[in-house]
Structure formats: C-alpha cells, structure tokens
Amino acid sequence: MIPGPIEFEPSVLRAMGETTTSHTAPNFIETFGHCMDLMKKIWKAPDGQPFIVAGSGTLAMDMAIANLIERGDNALVISTGYFGERFKEMLTCYGANVTIITAPLGKTVSLEDIESELKNKDYKLLTLTHVDTSTGILVNPEPIAALAKKYETLSILDGVCSVAGEKIEQENWGLDIVLTGSQKAIGVPPGLALLVASKKAIHTWRNRKTPVQSYYSDWKNWLPIMEAYQNRKPSYFGTPAVNLIRALEVSLQIINNEGIDHRINIHEKYANAFRKAIESLGLKTIPESNEIASNTLSAIYYPENIDGNEFRKKIEEYGVIIAGGLHADIKSNYFRVGHMGSVNASDLITTLSAIEYGLSKTGYHFRPGKSLATFQTLI
Ligand code: PMP
C-alpha cells in the first residue's frame, strides 16, 4: 500500500512475461502505436505528442526540462513538497534562473502569488506538481495553466502521482507537458517515462537557439521514433523496453475500457472514504482541507506519543506495507498510504484494520472498529 510501485493487475504482469519480440516486429510496432493512441485519450490530449522512453518518472521530468530550457531562461517552480524541489534542482542543472514559490506545509500556493510572480518577470516556463507524493497535496492545474497561457509561459505538470488517478484535461486546460512514470496509477512495473507534449512545446523546442544539453533526453533523437511508431513503421534510436511497453498496452487498455472518468471517480470515492475513516480515529492528514487532498495517497501524522517506527513495524507484522515520511521537515512525524490503480475496497479495509492494530499495539486509545465502520458507510 505504498504510493508506488503499486500492486499490478495479473494480466499486466503476465504481459511482462510474454516472449520478448524484436522492437521492429509487426506486433510490437502495433503495440507501441496503440499505447500512444491510448495515452492521448487518457491524457485528454488528442493533438498531443506522446513519448514513451525507458526510464523512471524523473527521466520524464528531465526530458521536459532538457528540451525546453536554454541557459539563462527564467523558470518558475510551484512547490508543494519534495518533488517541487527536484524540479528546482533539475532546472538549475540545465542553467535556468529559478524562482521557487513554496507552499506552507499542508497548503497550496495561492493563484495571487503565482500571478504576481508571472507579472514580475518573463518566465519561459512554470512547473507544478499535481500531487506531491511527499505531502499528499493536490494542486488544481486548471487555473494555473490558464495563468501560464495569459503570460505566455509554458506549463509543465508533474503527474507522476496523478495521471489516471486525478482529473486531467491536458488540451482543454492548455497544459504544455503532462508527464508520469509507469509504476503508479498507470499500473505498470517501474521503468517507463511517459509524457505528452503540446504543439506549442514542440514548437518551442524546434526554435531553440542552442543545442539540448542532454544526449539521451533530446527530442531530436526520440521524436522521429515516436512519429514512426505512431504511423506503424519500424524505427530505432535506443532499444525500447519491449516487455514493459506490452504491459503498458494491457494496463492502458484496462483503464480505457473502464473509462478514464469512471476510474477517477472511483479513486475519489475510495480516497474520501479512507481519509474520513482515518479522521474518525482522531488522526490528522497533512493537507489542511479535503479540496487539496489527493485521490492517490494519504499522508497522515502519527498521533502524539506513539513511536512511528514501532507502529509501522506492527502494521508490517499484520501483512500490510505502508510508507514512512519523505518531506525533510517532518520525515519522522508521518506515514503514507497509497490508494491508486487497481486498489479496491478490501485492500483499504485490510489497511485500516492494520492501522488500528498498529495503533492499539503502540498504546493509542480509540474505539476499535471505528475506522472500518466509517469506511463502510461511505463506500
Ligand atoms: N514526481 C512525483 C510526484 C513522484 O511521486 C515521483 C516518484 N515518487 C517522481 C516525480 C519521480 O519518479 P521516479 O521515482 O519514477 O523517478
């Protein structure tokens, strides 16, 4: 129950074990092209350019930044935790002048603060983290993308912990890049960097004055490959992760058959019920209100006077694996539970039951069964 890698559907895992074909075999060309077609549907970006490259979510971030930033460009980072800081580091590495607006813990950055920064300077791009996995904070990308458009700034959404779990309408909202990794709500073992770029993003890259400062991430190498597979033609730059891409096809197909809107509604329902169940035990989550709490994970403070390590050990004894803290300022004060992808009500009931077990073994007082009853009334 950690926020990625998540549990994967058996059919996705079976696809991983199929015979590895050549990357130019007709069946694989079809699989690759089909994945890109499905990505455009799930991202809601019919005119977008998908990229599927072997690597983790960080590579997808790298691909966005390396291709769009030139030395000396101004970049604005809107940070709600650990992964906002990562964008800052990466942008600095590629020579951008970075301004970061960091939300107070448990909150988001206000639109007023973002707009006054955009008014202040000519920003080439801004980045936002849809769900920061270190805090469970959800940011609404729609009004931020609209502000970016107003000030002619590109918008890059880190959707590693949100794509296929939170509402996204890349094209309607005007987001220039929406990126993710395979191992979260997309539902495929770790190893694929996925992103969809807008026409404007590709245009900006084409009109660069200086070369891209990364060999592996350079769209010059990858765009022709993506275009070839899209047109069901063989091509080669770097050997694609054949088995992972076949597994991606299976998982995207499951999501698409279910319907992306339905899938997100289910995530929302489980997340709300889980959070209410946790709160019924008297525990507090990092996000200060329900509107900014994510569908994909919950970040929960340990109650005062209990030993967090001992609590997590008890939960593990019970057979459930949850994650510890990640945000540097409060690392040892909280734990995280992922609830995305093919998670179901019984997974969450078992997790709540394990949490109650852990709390009772570490001396916390509450009414046994309270969280289970709360969850069941809301589901
Ligand atoms: N952004 C967010 C919001 C994430 O949760 C993660 C991974 N936890 C990353 C970026 C980096 O992805 P990866 O670990 O796959 O490189």
CA-proximal residue: ligand 1, atom 13 (nearest):
57
Ligand 1 and 5: CB distance under 6 A: no
Whether residue 129 has its Cβ less than 6 Å from ligand 1: yes
pLDDT single digits (tens) 332-341: 999 999 999 9
What number does the ligand 1 atom closest to the CA of 4 have? 8
Q: Which segments in the chain show pLDDT lower than 70?
A: none
Question: Is 182 a pocket residue for ligand 1 (Cβ < 6 Å)?
Answer: no
57 CB within 6 A, ligand 1: yes
- pLDDT (tens digit per residue) in 303-313: 998 999 999 99
Q: So what's the pLDDT on residue 166?
A: 98
Cβ atoms of 341 and 6 closer than 8 Å: yes
Q: Does 160 contact ligand 1 (Cβ within 6 A)?
A: yes
Across the chain, what does the average pLDDT equal? 98
| 110 Cα to the center of ligand 1, angstroms | 24
- Per-residue confidence (pLDDT) for residue 146, from 0 to 100: 98
180 ligand 1 Cβ < 6 A: no
Q: What is the pLDDT, as a whole number, of residue 287?
A: 98
* pLDDT of amino acid 293: 98
Q: How far is the CA of 180 from the centre of ligand 1 (A)?
A: 8
Of the residues 133, 137, 180, 183, which should be mutated to test ligand 1's pocket, given the most ligand atoms within 8 Å of the CB?
133
The reported pTM is 0.98
